[in-house]
Structure 1
Amino acid sequence: MKAYEIVSDGGVDALALNDRPDPKPGPGEVLVRVRASSINYRDLSTVEAPVPRGIPYPRIPNSDGAGDVVEVGPGVTRWKAGDKVCGCFFQGWVDGDITPELMGQALGGTIDGMLTEYRVLGEGGLVAMPEHLSYEEASTLPCAALTAWVSLVHRGGVKAGDTVLLLGTGGVSVFALQFCKLMGVKTICTSSSDEKIARLKAMGADEVINYRTHPEWQEKVLELTDGRGVDHTVEVGGAGTLERSIAATRVAGSIGLIGVLTGGEINPVNIMRKSIRLQGIYVGSRRVFEDMNAAISQHGLKPVISDTFAFEDARDAFHAMRAAGHFGKLVVKT
């Protein structure tokens, strides 16, 4: 089989498309023909800087993928050949809280990922694809969609009538907008692109702030909420935007801390003064993934794909992630 491998710290252009032996499933394992793999910023960071993350060579990148079950190993009862599935970001995290041991089972990081033609995964590390989705669409769900869902629903407790702040137009933020619309939640979004602002409004964003025009965008958020602030913020920027997100969030509100896109430092005083609940979000469990997929199926939600790349052009997909011009998800057909 063909698989992309991180073989050095040379970055995207050093990704190697190599031959590996065709895998066979052992007891409790499932062989999946991967049909599509989506890219997250975390995957780009892993490819660009494997050494600080302790990534051994060679390592297949990408946490996200969808495909068909080809063969099951002895003792497998959850799946059969022909089933359409998505891999779970953390292979062993079935339910409950994450543990240090479970964090050691992250696809495309501590273990091989999904940018490959075939992948053997544990029986418990898969979920069924929503039937109305293509492989490309389903491949966007394991990280970005689940992270947005956990921030809003599983941890954030967002409900109809609440107001949520969403930063930018990457995969997590676009999924969060779609989920908010399903739940009857008011959204305030940010972007620096007029074209992307138009697309956000077309998707149902209630308010959109151009952060180039309004660099102190937290003040605009307060203005739009009559000085109260939003109930919940999906924070994908990191330390560089967190101070503004804290200012934009109401007293006793919540923030789902997801991204590390911007550098900087954070003064925690205002978190304390405003009694804000700051929750780190690192994807989610299989059970919550299944809950999310039930909602996606019920409402016929379709993920937003910015661009799709052929398998041999996978490096271009990583370059597109670095360029940050996409709206929604970037997907590689495998």
Structure 2
Amino acid sequence: MTKPIRLAVIGMGKIACDQHLPSIAGTQKFELVATVSRDGKPSVDGVQCVRSIEELADSGIGIDAVSICTPPQVRHDIAQFAIEQGWHTMLEKPPGATLAEVIALRDAAKAAGVTLFATWHSRYAAMVEPARAWLRGREIRRAKITWREDVRVWHPGQEWIWQPGGFGVFDPGINALSIITRILPEPLFVTKSQLFFPGNQAAPIAAEVSMRDRKGVPVEMDLDFRQEGPQHWDIDVETDAGTLSLSHGGAKLSIAGVENRSEENAMEGEYPGLYKRFAALVWASVSDVDVSPLRLVADAFLCGRITMVEDFIE
């Protein structure tokens, strides 16, 4: 039996505590041996916590891999340091603040002979793979992404999300892009975008993005952080055999109005699926660094027309 991979989690914010720690605890493929947090306060009983990745390297703790859950603005230097230690590295989404950072990390990991995994957790939602399989070979006519959520509910106190490199509404929006780039057979290109910036913030609170694939199929995306009441994480794809609808972030699937309840190929959960994949990559000594969702976000900013809206006050 392969020994558990000795893992440290770096950045003990909401996503690490809510998703990563339970997923690690639920698998025998990893052994959590350390956490890294600026306050140095232990998050898991019996697991040592240090204040920085440099302190982790000097601690003498045996480390095989790290999972980096910091905000994207500081992720590159931490990941580069981890790669230099020979540690396999898993990146929360988005994998970096810029495309250049992620490509540099990919090249560094290849040169060092370690695994780099740029994760897209929404691709591991239960119905994403069934949706991809159903769309294969069908004529796709158009698609619409509606990703509207209340930032005060889902990102309370997360000031980094409003800073340059924090992505604003594209932080959840990139989840939709990770799904659409997985289920559609052709690559997508941004044709135009409208970005709505609060007067007091450096990242958009809403966006409207028009895309097409290389066959000319239109894909429209509507993102908004100001949604109150029902939240929307939906993708609709119109085809020659009816409309496929993914809802609840990819957890539910209906085709031509009929809900698909098949559990075939369904993952056991988004983050458990990520750790299952990370272990497989480490054991196979390969990397998985798909930048297509991040590239579309970058292009949305490149093509974007900026409209200023009212200040955002949490």
Settle same-fold status: TM greater than 0.5: no
Report the TM range for the smaller structure's normalisation.
0.3 to 0.5
